Amino acid sequence: MFVGVLTIVVIVVLTRTKLEKFGFLIGVLVTTIAVAIIALVQAAGVSSSVPNPDGEYPDPSGDFRGQGIANGAVGVFGGVPVGGSLSGTILIQNLGGRNRSANISTGVFALVAILLIAPFIERTPMPTLAGLLMVIGFSMINRDRIVTVWHTGRASSAVMVLTFIPALADEPALTGREAHVLRLLAKRYTNVEIARELLIAPATVKKHTVTLYDKLNVHSRSERVAKALTLGYVNA
């Protein structure tokens, strides 16, 4: 958030000076440098947290060089620059990775998978999310407490039942257009792409998305898709 505010301030200030023509460019450069520093610090943090199999820690300078070269190459192909990942490093170690070839082979495998079975991979997130929601839902059921409440008395049992039934029936009613927008959002369409698909203005799409946040009682795009999947508006 701080980086975004700083960028806006830089652009606004420069537009009032002789550097007006370069205001946007300089603002983008400020953001780029800030993000690069954050990524490097993140990589250094991972390096200092996870030692090599021989007990020694990696050379941060080597990590910086490798990350810079990789992100430079990714930018040429329109990819998204990345930084160090502590969870990814630990996962590879737990799977038996012992040296840099583990990361290289992981990248090669991901590249081959994307090139050969991209349509299949595209269908993987939704079923995975559905399964995760089912596991979380079932794990939240505490049978012992339900039995305890049921045997506590009629009043407690009635409160439990009256609370449970509305929770099952609490399904927001969406209009046909809202449901269509929701399905496109689940497919990771942008507002501009949705507007082009439905032949409506981007402002109208934004209005629909705000309404969806309210009706689905969610606070992020991922929560919105998960709720839509749970209610059956989107097929897994």
Q: In terms of domains, do 74 and 140 share one?
A: no
Burial of 24 (0-12, 13-18, 19+ CB in 10 A): middle
The pLDDT tens digits for 200-235 are 888 888 888 888 888 777 777 777 777 777 766 666
Q: In terms of domains, do 134 and 194 share one?
A: yes
**Total number of domains constituting the chain:** 3
pLDDT value for 117: 83
Q: In terms of domains, do 133 and 185 share one?
A: yes
pLDDT at 28 > cutoff 60 = yes
Residues 54, 46: Cα–Cα separation, whole Å: 17
How far apart, in Å, do the first and last CA atoms of the chain sit?
33
Q: Is 214 within the bounds of a domain? A: yes
Domain boundary among 69, 99, 118: 118
pLDDT at 1 > cutoff 60 = no
Q: Is 37 within the bounds of a domain? A: yes
Q: Is 93 within the bounds of a domain? A: yes
* Tokens 């082009």 -> residue: 196
Of 71 and 18, the structure prediction assigns the larger pLDDT to 71
Supply the angle between the helices 154-169 and 143-152 in degrees, to the nearest 10: 130
pLDDT value for 9: 66
Q: Is 4 within the bounds of a domain? A: yes
Give residue 47's Cα distance to chain centre.
24
Question: Which among 176, 172, 202 has a CA at the least distance from the CA of 189?
Answer: 202
Of 74 and 1, the structure prediction assigns the larger pLDDT to 74
Residues 189, 47: Cα–Cα separation, whole Å: 36
Domain region containing 98: 86-118
Of 40 and 206, the structure prediction assigns the larger pLDDT to 206
Q: In terms of domains, do 57 and 149 share one?
A: no
CB 130 within 8 A of CB 226: no
Q: In terms of domains, do 146 and 227 share one?
A: yes
Q: Is 206 within the bounds of a domain? A: yes
pLDDT at 170 > cutoff 70 = no
Domain boundary among 99, 118, 137: 118
pLDDT value for 234: 64
- CATH code: domain of residue 132: 1.10.10.10
Which distant-in-sequence residues (6+ apart) come within 8 Å of 96 by Cβ? 102
Which two structure tokens, joined as six digits, stand for 84?
């160090």
Supply the angle between the helices 202-216 and 191-198 in degrees, to the nearest 10: 110
Question: Which among 193, 167, 184 has a CA at the least distance from the CA of 228?
Answer: 184
The pLDDT tens digits for 9-18 are 666 666 666 6
Q: In terms of domains, do 149 and 113 share one?
A: no
Q: Is 79 within the bounds of a domain? A: yes
pLDDT value for 10: 62
Which distant-in-sequence residues (6+ apart) come within 8 Å of 150 by Cβ? 156, 157, 160
Q: Is 135 within the bounds of a domain? A: yes
Predicted confidence band of residue 24 (pLDDT cuts 50, 70, 90): low
Domain boundary among 84, 107, 135: 84
Q: Is 236 within the bounds of a domain? A: no
